[in-house]
Structure 1
Amino acid sequence: MPVRYRLVGPDLASVRFAVSPLNELVLSLRSWRDPGRFPVHLPWIRRMQQARPALDTEMLLALIDERLSTPDFLTPPPRSPLTRLDDELAAIAATPPDVVHRNLRLLYHADERIPPPWREPGALPRMVAALAGYWDLCFAAHWPRMRALLEADVTFRGREIAQHGLARMFAGLSERVTMTGDTVEVRLHSDVHYTRPTLGGLTLVPTMWTPAVAAPISAGEPPMIIYLARGSATLWEPEPLPAPGALAALLGAHRAGLLTRLGTPASSTELATRLGVTTTAVNQHLRALRAAGLLVSARHGRSVLYRRSELGDRLLAGSAPA
């Protein structure tokens, strides 16, 4: 069934792109219900399952139903490509109770089908705490890599608009999205259907957790299309570890490569995921580089982030070819 958005003045100002860490966090719960639908994410799913005993699994599973749908208030349109999770969670925590209940009834169709965690006092604060814990244990270390992929998609779509126009860009989102005249049609797998103008604009949100496209269940929600980001299948592929030859001869290829990469902070878990090696192996190299004064580290939440020290910067600069 289609959702139709009528663009009010089909120009660049009425269509915006945004990246949402909350959107990725909530939609990733689809892999809890049906891991087989997300084979490219199996390396991450295996790691995530080890952390599940430490999470509020009952509440997290209540955020998504058997059709892999979620309440609209959990995936609000993000405001920009620079949206912060803390800001999104604060907005969710301030959701009026009547909006929460209305969204849950739309999703589950009857009060008696709403899962028990939502019927208890303090359900909304518990949900926010469950999502924050899920982020810390399963997402935070990988978010820089995920965000880079999503932002690359936004850059590509912007070029598509500039070079070929809105209709071509919409057609490239999915075979289920078309633009005819001033109307954008999204053909969903569910029985959701409505037509509404895009007063206030239409937000396009790339994600790594949808097999096709998605839109809000309620016509009263701000217009939004969630679509599969380009390159999602490559997210967990090991990345090459570049290192200048002279520096590799001095430190060894792995340590020289890590020093080259750590111009921006990263955790050992994130580095291990990017490189396709174990966290233990990465930690051995990081400790040696830090002991030599080439890296500094600082705790950020549950993670320890490493980056090059001033001495490391000078060593890397000195090893570069003239």
Structure 2
Amino acid sequence: MIRYRFGRDDLLHTRFAIAPLMELLGAFYVLRRPDRSPVHRRWVEWAAPRVPTLDLSLLDAAAPFGGPYWPVFVSPPPREPHPTIETELDRVAATPPEQVVAEITQRYGADLPAAARPFVDDPARALDRLVDQMRSLWAAVLAPRWAAVSALLESELTARARGLVAVGSRAAFADLHPSASWAADCLTVRGTGRTADVDLAGRGLLLIPSAFTWPLVWPRIDPPWDPALVYPPAGIGDIWEPAPTGGAALEALIGRRRARILRELDRPAATLDLAGRIRVSAGGISDHLTVLRHAGLVTRRREGRRVVYARTLAGDALCR
């Protein structure tokens, strides 16, 4: 059981983030033991045939199952709310060699397996190979489906952050996970296999929703992490449902012309550019862009004499 104890300033410093590396490691776990994650069955059926040709031996050694300690360098804490996978892989590659040796040794002790020995014998070269393996796995099984996963996580962040601001701590932590409960300024997480009493001491708590941790939570309390909790958000069971074909649903929601404009903004464009592509007057396009901008689906910026429009994250999600 782990207790996160909140002081006066900790709720102010509680924050949310998406961690692509955490998703990558979670997806790797699911692929190795798919029977434990029936909610991801559709994804496993699609992803598993893409993996056998990949060399993932170093990733397997750096992200083992079980045990009281998991090497931290393979998934450092995110420094921003929504980092890219390349940003996170760069941080893995920049891990000091002595840290790699120390964490691998702490994980395995005297029982160092042959697959993990490169991290001790030549940690710099092993790191380079590890990052290559992680990048290959991402490209094969997550990059093509990242839009769906990212949309789910973003919606979870928005809902939790809104609840924290509007209602307070009870809303932020309510229904977080069956193993987590909030009472008397303390978030208690049971069934973790560890026991710790963590005084947040003004650091706040980092909350990271993750599709591939299901059905578990992953408390993070080992340095260099600040206190964090990785948890599965609601709605995971729906993300692998086949997407509807065509654009009829979007057109029915916002109208055929606005749906066309929103799709055309997969790359930023000015009013005249859109008018030329769609063959509609610039005035008509401008009226539709105003509606889309007020709805939070597009944004605009000035580039010299031109005003360029682009889709927002909400616009991207709606198009998906």
Normalised by the length of structure 1, the TM-score is 0.71
Contact 1:60 1:130 in 2 (8 A): yes
Q: Deviations over 1:130-183 (max 9, x none)?
A: 111111222111111111110001111122223432133213211222233333
1:112 matched to which residue of 2? 112
Distance 1:107 1:314 in 2: 63
Between 134-143 and 99-108, the greater mean CA deviation after superposition: 99-108
Instruction: Say whether 1:186 aligns with 2:185.
Output: no
Q: Deviations over 1:38-88 (max 9, x none)?
A: 222222222222222332221232233233984222232223332111111
- RMSD of aligned residue pairs (Cα, Å): 3.4
C-alpha change, 1:51 and 1:19, in structure 2 (3 Å) is same
1:134 matched to which residue of 2? 137
- Pairs within 5 Å for 1:193-272: 193-210=196-213, 211-216=215-220, 218=222, 221-241=225-245, 243=247, 262-263=263-264, 265=266
**Residue type matched to 1:221 in 2?**
W
Distance 2:139 2:199 in 1: 38
Distance 1:165 1:76 in 2: 29
1:254 matched to which residue of 2? none
Between 77-86 and 2-11, the greater mean CA deviation after superposition: 2-11
3-state SS of 1:44 partner: helix
Distance 2:276 2:109 in 1: 61
**Residue type matched to 2:21 in 1?**
L
C-alpha change, 1:190 and 1:217, in structure 2 (3 Å) is farther
C-alpha change, 1:120 and 1:39, in structure 2 (3 Å) is farther
C-alpha change, 1:187 and 1:198, in structure 2 (3 Å) is farther
Contact 1:177 1:186 in 2 (8 A): yes
C-alpha change, 1:23 and 1:82, in structure 2 (3 Å) is same
Extract unaligned runs of 5+ from structure 1: 249-257, 267-307
Q: Deviations over 1:10-52 (max 9, x none)?
A: 4542100001111111221111221011222222222222222
Distance 2:102 2:208 in 1: 24
C-alpha change, 1:143 and 1:260, in structure 2 (3 Å) is farther
1:25 matched to which residue of 2? 24
1:16 matched to which residue of 2? 15
Distance 2:9 2:217 in 1: 21
Distance 2:194 2:134 in 1: 28
| Deviation of 1:235 (Å) | 0.6
Contact 1:4 1:186 in 2 (8 A): yes
Contact 1:117 1:123 in 2 (8 A): yes
| Deviation of 1:187 (Å) | 2.0
**Residue type matched to 1:49 in 2?**
A
- Tell me the matched-pair count: 267
Q: Percent identity?
A: 30
C-alpha change, 1:67 and 1:241, in structure 2 (3 Å) is same
Distance 1:105 1:193 in 2: 22
C-alpha change, 1:183 and 1:131, in structure 2 (3 Å) is same
Distance 2:195 2:97 in 1: 23
Contact 2:9 2:204 in 1 (8 A): no
- Pairs within 5 Å for 1:36-115: 36-67=35-66, 70-108=70-108, 110-113=110-113, 115=116
Contact 1:188 1:213 in 2 (8 A): no
Contact 1:196 1:219 in 2 (8 A): no
Distance 1:231 1:241 in 2: 21
Q: Deviations over 1:219-241 (max 9, x none)?
A: 66311100001211101112334
C-alpha change, 1:104 and 1:215, in structure 2 (3 Å) is farther
Distance 1:99 1:310 in 2: 56
Contact 2:76 2:91 in 1 (8 A): no
1:143 matched to which residue of 2? 146
Between 134-143 and 210-219, the greater mean CA deviation after superposition: 210-219
